[in-house]
Amino acid sequence: MRKRFKYPTKLFTLMVLCFVGFNSLLLLISGVVYYGTYSEIAYREIRLAKKELLDETSQKLSNYVAGIQDTARFLVTNTMVQQYLSVEPESEYDFVFKSRQLYEEFQKLATVKAGLHSIELYTDWLIGYPTFQDQFMHPIKEAQAEGWLERMDRSDGYWIASHDHSSIGMISYVHQIIGNRGEILGIVKINIPDKMLFEILDKDGSAENVPDYYVVLDSGGNYIASVLPTGITVPERADEMVNAVSGTKYSVIQSDANSQYWMLLQLISKDVFKQSGKEIRTLIVGLLSALILLSIPLAFWVSRRLTSPIYGIVEGMRSIEKGDFNVRMNASSIQEYLYLTTHFNRMVHRLKELIGRLNQEHRDRREAEIQLLHAQIKPHFLYNTLDLIHWRALDYNAHEISLMVQQLSKLFRIGLSNDKWYVTVRDELAHARCYMAIQEYRQNFSTEYAENVESDLFDAIIPKIILQPFLENAVIHGFQNRHDNAVVHVDIEQRDEIGGKQLIVTIADNGCGLPDGFDIQTASGIGIRNVIDRIHLYCGPKYGVHIASGAHGGTQVIMNLPLIRNEEEMEQLTRSLSHEFDSLGG
């Protein structure tokens, strides 16, 4: 029994886990959806209540801000202020007298308005006179240095965000003083401590011992001041606050936009929204746990019913591993299992055929190897006979016959002695030179044969006997009606092409050229077709031969081959082109 369930038990366990997991997932999704819906409603109600309270607080803050701005407008429209600043002081005494009166006027308003820290005046009216009340009156260039003066070009008055002023966090309202002729006489700056704003916000805070966190924005949505928990950076715009608290335990509530005064952002702990969902969460968790426990027995029963047909297939696979290819599977009443058993039987049948085919190929290969060993005897007989003719010719002083036989013997030795399909460039060139030397004796015209090979390419590997057929065409067909000197050049070089380096072999002659309508695809020459087929077979279809008329007459043959420098690279090329059975279909 243990042996029978050794492998299927794993599938059985997997199916049980999947069934229970899927059922649990559905139950969890249902519970999450229900809890999420409930939480969303509760969250929306709590958020609405918090927002109404925040709107009230924002309105009170806006009323305070409106009072500050009214104070600034009163100062910039004050007749005495405009009169003093529009006329240069007559003397140093006049400057001190008027400066003191301006200071007292500003201080009177600062003491009347609650929450004001100080009021400052920026004007060039004081330039050229000794400083008076440094904390009260400043030249306008100091406003430029503080970095807020440029905004005056776009607005007569605006708020400056929280900044350090005399080691106190301060927000400021600045407003231009415009003279009767439209000139800028100065700038009034009203300073309010940050804590004053947050004291106003905390007056209506909840009784719970929970800290309140706010971000104050002006009517344009620009940052004014804030009190934030540790780890949250100060945003510059209202829409950046949501990103700033993303991933934290806080949620953002924003008061209604107010085009005239300020608005607020409040950070509220998410725990406040989750308190109402604790009881419903406990109820949902208990109900889901009970349903998941009840689904486990059902999962065992269904999984056992579904996995039992697999046992037969497993036993069949074990028989195949032992070499029994006569095993066959019985049909199943389940459609999917019927498909498996049918294709299993078909696979076994095709495997049996494939093994028989491979065995036959091994027998054929061994027979071919034996025949090759017998065939190797024939070239040795030919070499020995040619050597005998060579020496006999020397005995009769027939030196030309001796040289011809010697070149022919060397030609056969290079072409036939190596039982591989490839040779080095050096050996292929030697074979070509032997052939051209023999042709010197056969033809009634002289032949000029030249080679131009890059020095590092002599040991490169190429298919054997690919030069001789084209040299034969050049000599026999290119000069058959001519009696002048025949010139044949062989150039071998390497080039960088798409896909890597290639070996380029060029054979050029000064013969009569190609006949009209010549097409290499329909050429009837056996030698040319043999070279093209062998290049495609041994090197791949992207390599081949191109034949065209030369630029100055004659014929030009260009062969592009892979650049193979050693046996290892040749074996890699052979493996990449080998066609092996990679499926049961062969």
What is the distance between the alpha carbons of residues 40 and 51, in angstroms, rounded to a whole number? 16
Residue 127 banded pLDDT, cuts 50, 70, 90: confident
Q: How confident is the model at residue 585 (pLDDT cuts 50, 70, 90)?
A: very low
pTM of the model: 0.44
pLDDT in tens, 180-206: 888 888 999 998 888 887 887 776 554
Residue 9 has pLDDT above 70, yes or no: no
- 346-378 pLDDT, tens digit per residue, is 888 888 888 888 777 777 666 655 554 444 445
- Structure confidence by residue, pLDDT tens digits, 455-477: 899 999 998 888 888 888 888 77
Q: Rounded CA gap, 238 and 243, in Å?
A: 10
Residue 27, H or E segment: helix 8-76
Contact, 343 vs 329, CB < 8 A? no
DSSP 494-556: EEEETTEEEEEEEEEE-SS-PPTT--GGG---HHHHHHHHHHHHHH-TT-EEEEEE-BTBSEE
Between 9 and 234, the more confident residue is 234
Q: Which residues, other chains included, contact 403 with Cβ-Cβ below 8 Å and sequence gap of 6+?
A: 437, 441
| Three-state secondary structure string covering 195-221 | HHHHHHHHCCCCCCCCCCEEEEECCCC
| Mean pLDDT to the nearest integer, 554-582 | 79
Distance of CA 265 to the CA centre of its chain: 40
Span 32-90, pLDDT tens digits = 887 777 777 777 777 788 888 888 888 888 888 888 888 888 888 888 888 888 888 88
Domains of the chain as residue ranges with CATH: 1-310 (3.30.450.20), 325-375 (no CATH), 418-584 (3.30.565.10)
168 beta partners:
165
